[in-house]
Amino acid sequence: MSTRRLRSEDYNDYSSTDVTPEGSPPGGMNGFAHPESYQRFGDTNGTTWYQTLIHLLKGNIGTGLLGLPLAVKNAGILLGPVSLLVMGVVAVHCMGILVKCAHHFCYRFQKQFLDYGGAVMYGLESTSSTWLRTHAIWGRRVVGLFLIVTQLGFCCVYFVFLADNLRQVVSAANGTTNDCSSNRTVAMTPTMDSRLYMLSLLPFVVLLTFIQNLKVLSVFSMLANVAMLGSLIVIYQYIVRDIPDPSDLPLAAAWKTYPLFFGTAIFSFEGIGVVLPLENKMKNPQQFPVLLYVGMTIVTILYISLSVLGYLRFGADIQASITLNLPNCWLYQAVKLLFSFGIFFTYAVQFYVPAEIVIPPLVARVSERWGWLVNLLLRVALVGVTCVLAILIPRLDIVISLVGSMSSSALALIFPPLLEIATFYAEGMHPLVIAKDVAISLFGFVGFVVGTYEALVELVAPTAAVVNTTSVMV
């Protein structure tokens, strides 16, 4: 078996029904394939265990984390963290399913690597349905579509986050002091609407996305990670102090707001798209299953702790991003700017994925002379679309919940269990495993429908007054 890595075009031709693979790796239905039965050679220049863990944490920690305290408010101080734990376990289980199915097909076809779309395509080819086998290529295309929607959705969230935080910093600039006590009120200076901030940011974001070299982007990514890590540390040290009596907080919130919790939570846990690429880049990919569970355990603990502590600290006043609840003294204003700096450069990293899917096929249709211009114009258009959508949905909590419910739920919850059934049903599956997979997919589908509906309803007709992001007690 060749040790070179295969890009998606290397196995596109397997969408035909001429391929009828036989056999599966020993232990295929009992978890991950054993190293003795499925040998991954890895890459001698690949990432180490520690480096892959850092990348996994980076792929799962972002703006969704800062919105989780409000999500817990929408679920309740007891129901919220319990639901987060359950969703974390289910999301990690689905990541494991994806890795297991990818291993299964790599063993069958002697492939070094399969991506998410390739695994789904091969899964459809393994079914007994002639129609599904004939149209298996659509499995890859549907996954690709949801990946594009999800990544561009992240970019929309970034526009709203940047606008809200910059607007608050500018509004409080004249009253910002070194006094970070929690009993002062800063008089806010009137400033322009957050949507105008988004338009002001647009040219800078466009210029940022013109950077197409991954090595250059990795430098910005590293700076962004350092900035956001420092900001998180400062946020934690603030919210653990002076926590008020939580007895007035509801154990379970109204059922109508729970779908908003679902959307935000699954938005935060939607890191399944980075799982297979990270495994492929490892020097010793056999270590990845353990690494996956270790990394996602850290992520789940971080999510639950920040969401609970944030809601306990600010109670009913918690805002769409916990950074908007921080005092308007220089220290916490710097935290907001640091996190905004990190999110700004993260935009380019998240934008890279949909850009690489959408732009090259379109550039290939024009002459080489005009290719560079079409490339840049398409980048401007895609960034413009994310900015326009952010302007149309200027509420950070709603855009996070909407993106989570519409696209993240499909990638993280709906597709992986169905993939497992398609992959292993012909070889015999225990009825309880089938029931489990069906239950997870149904749960994801219900969340997809109800979460999307409630987010749209809340957007059109808010059930409660939206807290003004620039009127914060400090």
Give per-residue pLDDT as tens, 294-305. Answer: 989 999 999 999
Give the range among 40-54, 227-241, 346-360 with minimum mean pLDDT: 40-54
Q: Is the pLDDT of residue 6 over 50?
A: no
Given a cut of 50, whether residue 137 has pLDDT beyond it is yes
Please report, for residues 85, 187, 381, the alpha-carbon distance to residue 72 in angstroms, rounded to integers and kept in the order given. Answer: 12, 29, 36
The CA-to-CA distance between both ends of the chain, in Å, stands at 62
pLDDT at 18 over 70: no
3-class SS letters over 217-275: HHHHHHHHHHHHHHHHHHHHHHHCCCCCCHHHCCCCCCHHHHHHHHHHHHHHHCCHHHH
pLDDT band for position 190 (cuts 50, 70, 90): low
* pLDDT for res 37: 43
| Assigned token pair, 387 | 């900015």
Alpha-carbon dihedral angle through residues 272, 274, 280, 283, given to the nearest 10 degrees: -110
Q: What is the pLDDT of residues 145-178, one digit of tens each?
A: 998 998 898 899 999 999 998 988 888 776 666 6
CA-closest candidate to residue 299, choices 156, 450, 412: 412
Phi/psi of residue 166, nearest 5 degrees: -65, -40
pLDDT at 42: 54
CB 92 within 8 A of CB 296: yes
Predicted local confidence at residue 460, as pLDDT: 82
- The predicted pLDDT at position 465 comes to 47
pLDDT of residue 4 exceeding 50: no
Q: pTM here?
A: 0.80
Q: pLDDT tens across 314-364, in order?
A: 988 898 889 888 887 888 888 889 888 888 888 887 888 788 888 888 888
Q: Quick one: which of 7, 35, 26 has its CA closest to 284?
A: 35
pLDDT of the residue at 43: 56
pLDDT tens profile 387-400:
999 998 888 888 88
pLDDT at 188: 60
Out of 57-61, 183-187, 255-259, least confident range: 183-187
pLDDT at 11: 34
| Predicted local distance difference test score (pLDDT) of residue 297 | 92
46 or 468, which is more confident?
Answer: 46
CA separation for the pair 154, 448 (Å, rounded): 17
pLDDT for 122: 93
| Higher pLDDT pick, 422 / 20 | 422
Q: Are 375 and 363 in contact (CB under 8 A)?
A: yes
* Number of C-beta neighbours around residue 191 at 10 A: 17
What φ, ψ does residue 47 adopt, rounded to 5°? -80, 150
pLDDT over 70 at 468, yes or no = no
- Give the max Cα distance, the chain: 72
Judge contact between 321 and 68, C-beta under 8 A. no
**Quick check: helix, strand or coil at residue 4?**
coil
pLDDT score at 40: 52
Residue 67 has pLDDT above 60, yes or no: yes
Give the residue-averaged pLDDT of 35-43.
47
Where residue 212 falls among pLDDT bands split at 50, 70, 90? confident
What is the rounded distance in angstroms from the CA atom of residue 318 to the CA atom of residue 376?
A: 40
Residue 331 to residues 224, 230, 335, Cα–Cα distance (Å): 18, 12, 6
- pLDDT digit string, tens, across residues 254-292: 888 899 999 999 988 878 877 888 888 788 888 888 889
DSSP sequence for 62-115: SHHHHHHHHHHHHH-TTHHHHHHHHHHHHHHHHHHHHHHHHHHHHHHHT-S---
What's the pLDDT tens digit per position in 408-467? 899 999 999 999 999 998 888 889 999 999 999 999 999 999 999 988 888 887 765 444
Query: Does the pLDDT value for residue 7 go beyond 60?
Result: no
User: Does 177 or 14 have the greater pLDDT score?
Assistant: 177
What pLDDT is recorded for position 184? 53
Mean pLDDT of 196-220: 85
